[in-house]
Structure formats: C-alpha cells, structure tokens
C-alpha cells in the first residue's frame, strides 16, 4: 500500500501538502499525540499502518514520538529497535516517509501566526531534533524550494511492496523464515515484530553481523492461524532475493517441502529462541554465522538503502 507519511516541525507545511495529496485521491489521517495508556507504541503505530485499506497520507505518525517524547515527557516511548521494526513495515508496504523541513525562520513565523502549545524554547529544540532525525527520511521537502505539485508528482508514483506476510525491503537479498507468531505476545501476524525475548536477541545479532536494512526481509512458515504460507510465491515476490534462511527445523521442513524444486537456494540456522535459551553465553557464534551470510550477498551498486 503506497502510503505517504509526512513528518516535521510545526509550521512546516505538512497539512497543506497532505490536503493536496488528498485531492489526488489519497485518504487522509491526522495522528495527534500518542495514547497515554502505557501500551506499546510499536503495536499502536503498526496497526495504524495496517488498518489503512486505501493509499493514505498520514499527517504525522511515529517519528514525532522521537522528537516530542523527550521534549514533553522526558523520554521517547519508542526505542531505536522499535523504530527499525516500524520502518520495516513502512518499507514492506511501499510507503514513503517525507520530512517537511523549511527554514527555522519560516517555521517560527508560521507558528507565531497561530496559537501553539510549545514555547519558543521548545520550538527551537524541536526543530533541532527534527534536523537530527533527517537521515531516516527518503524525501526532505521545503515548500520554499519545491512546489507541492512537484513533490506530489514524486510521491504518487507506485513503489514495490513485499508479499503479504512479509516485513522488510521489497529489494531484500536474504529472506529469513521463522516458524509462527507467538500469539501470547502479539496478535499482529508479523514475523519477529517485537523488541523482546528471542526476537530482540535476533535483531541485535543481525545488527552486529553487519546487514544493511535494504537487504533484509522476514516471514514465517505458518500464519497466525497455523496455515502454511506459500514460501515459493513469497520468494518470487522479492525483487533481488539471493538466499533464504530457515530458522529452526519447522521452518526448514517447510522450505524443503515447498522449495525443493524451485530455483531459490536455502539454508538453515538454529532458531534464535533455541540459541538464546541453550547457548546464551555464546552469542558471538550466532553473530558469526549471520555475518557469513551477510558477506556472501552479491552487491548491486544501483540499489541503495534509500530505494
């Protein structure tokens, strides 16, 4: 689903651009402050993305928590890993993130012309914080230098998406296949979509192994209801896939059954839950096994992390 997520400081032109995209056929959703019930913001923002049934322009979404959480509440309720997991969902849906960022003087003038909740000092610190998160964004938009029509023309172009049941990059070179979502932890049928327990261990190992996010995709052998996923169709739906890694015997058995006559290569590793439980003191070996996979990937210079 080719959603557009507009983020940025107050007075940056987000709502004006969002309205222009709405006129181009997008549904519109404004996201205010996150709920204060203490629930998981990872789940909350993921559901906002998955519940949007038509291409939607989000006037703010999750990145604002990284900026305004520390400013207004002392800390962000999204960790760095949870941001990564959200961005994998964003990528899998073909959504585009835009940082609306005109000059500080323009934002200040715009906020001075209407009632705002933030003081001058808070506005200044928020603007600086938005500058620090700029590397998260594929697009940076300033209506001072580009028209909303030009920006919209870029954003409405269709982008590749991942097959259903997959998170990560449509250009992934490696697909990790787990077993099945632990329904006791989440009802979101997304693979390894938590920062806790064995998933958190696995994501930390992937980072230390040196993978690029654009090279990664994730799925499970079975859906939340216990039905096998079509792994061959999933593999065929990833544009640059080179390697499939089955995590554990259940996933490997499904790969053998479904991919035995397919052109895709697959191998196996211990499931991270097994390794964390029985080899917790030997994390380095698991990282080294993953690193060998990362180093075996053939690089395509025309494909970058921003694609």
**pLDDT tens across 227-279, in order?**
999 999 999 999 999 999 999 999 999 999 998 777 788 899 999 999 999 99
With a cut of 70, say whether residue 163 has pLDDT above it: yes
**What does the pLDDT read at residue 307?**
30
Q: How far apart are CA 167 and CA 216, in angstroms?
A: 9
Q: Which domains does the chain have, with CATH numbers?
A: 4-155 (3.40.50.300), 167-296 (3.40.470.10)
Tell me the pLDDT tens digit for each residue of 202-221.
999 999 999 999 999 999 99
Mean of all residue pLDDT scores within the chain: 91
Spatial CB neighbours of 54, under 8 Å, sequence gap ≥ 6: 1, 26, 27
pLDDT (0 to 100) of residue 306: 36
Taking residues 10-28, what's their average pLDDT?
Answer: 94
**pLDDT greater than 80 at residue 58:** yes
Q: What does DSSP assign to residue 34?
A: P
Residue 303's pLDDT band (cuts 50, 70, 90):
very low
User: Measured between alpha carbons, how far is 170 from 93 in angstroms, rounded to an integer?
Assistant: 9
- The confidence band for 1, taking pLDDT boundaries of 50, 70 and 90, is low
pLDDT at 116: 63
Q: What is the pLDDT of residue 280?
A: 87
Per-residue pLDDT at 90: 97
| Average pLDDT of span 55-71 | 95
Mean pLDDT on 57-76: 94
DSSP 48: H
Residues 6+ apart with CB under 8 A from 183: 224
Whether pLDDT at 113 is above 70: no
Least confident of 117-126, 160-169, 187-196, 285-294: 117-126
Over 80: is that where the pLDDT of 288 sits?
yes
Read off the pLDDT band of 304 (50, 70, 90).
Answer: very low
Separation CA 229–CA 226 (nearest Å)? 9
pLDDT at 55: 94
**pLDDT of amino acid 305:** 38
pLDDT score recorded for residue 302? 46
Beta-bridge partner residues of 96: 4
- Predicted pLDDT of residue 8: 96
**Percentage of the chain exceeding pLDDT 90:** 79
Report the pLDDT averaged over residues 187-209. Answer: 93
Instruction: Specify the range with the lowest mean pLDDT, choosing from 22-26, 86-90, 300-304.
Output: 300-304
């Amino acid at each position: 689903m080719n959603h557009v997520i507009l983020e940025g400081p107050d007075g940056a032109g987000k709502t004006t651009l969002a309205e222009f995209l709405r006129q181009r056929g997008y549904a519109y959703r404004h996201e205010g402050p996150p709920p204060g019930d203490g629930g998981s913001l990872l789940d909350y923002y993921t559901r906002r993305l998955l519940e949007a049934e038509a291409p939607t322009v989000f006037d703010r979404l999750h990145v604002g928590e990284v900026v305004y959480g520390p400013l207004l509440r002392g800390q962000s309720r999204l960790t760095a890993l949870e941001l990564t997991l959200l961005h994998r969902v964003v990528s899998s849906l073909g959504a585009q993130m835009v940082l609306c960022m005109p000059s500080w003087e323009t934002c200040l003038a715009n906020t001075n012309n209407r009632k705002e909740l933030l003081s001058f000092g808070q506005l200044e610190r928020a603007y600086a914080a938005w500058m620090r998160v700029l590397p998260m964004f594929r697009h940076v938009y300033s209506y001072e230098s580009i028209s909303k029509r030009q920006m919209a023309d870029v954003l409405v172009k269709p982008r590749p998406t991942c097959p259903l049941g997959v998170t990560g990059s449509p250009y992934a070179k490696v697909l990790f296949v787990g077993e099945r979502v632990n329904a006791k932890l989440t009802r979101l049928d997304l693979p390894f979509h938590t920062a806790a327990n064995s998933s958190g261990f696995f994501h930390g190992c992937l980072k230390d192994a040196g993978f690029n996010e654009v090279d990664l995709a994730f799925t499970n052998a079975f859906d939340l209801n216990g039905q096998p996923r079509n792994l061959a169709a999933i593999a065929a739906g990833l544009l640059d896939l080179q390697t499939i890694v089955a995590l554990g015997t259940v996933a490997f058995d499904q790969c053998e059954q479904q991919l035995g006559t397919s052109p895709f290569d697959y191998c196996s590793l211990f499931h991270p839950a097994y390794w964390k439980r029985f080899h917790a003191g030997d994390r380095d070996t698991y990282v080294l096994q993953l690193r060998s996979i990362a180093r075996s990937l053939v690089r395509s210079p025309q494909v970058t992390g921003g694609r």
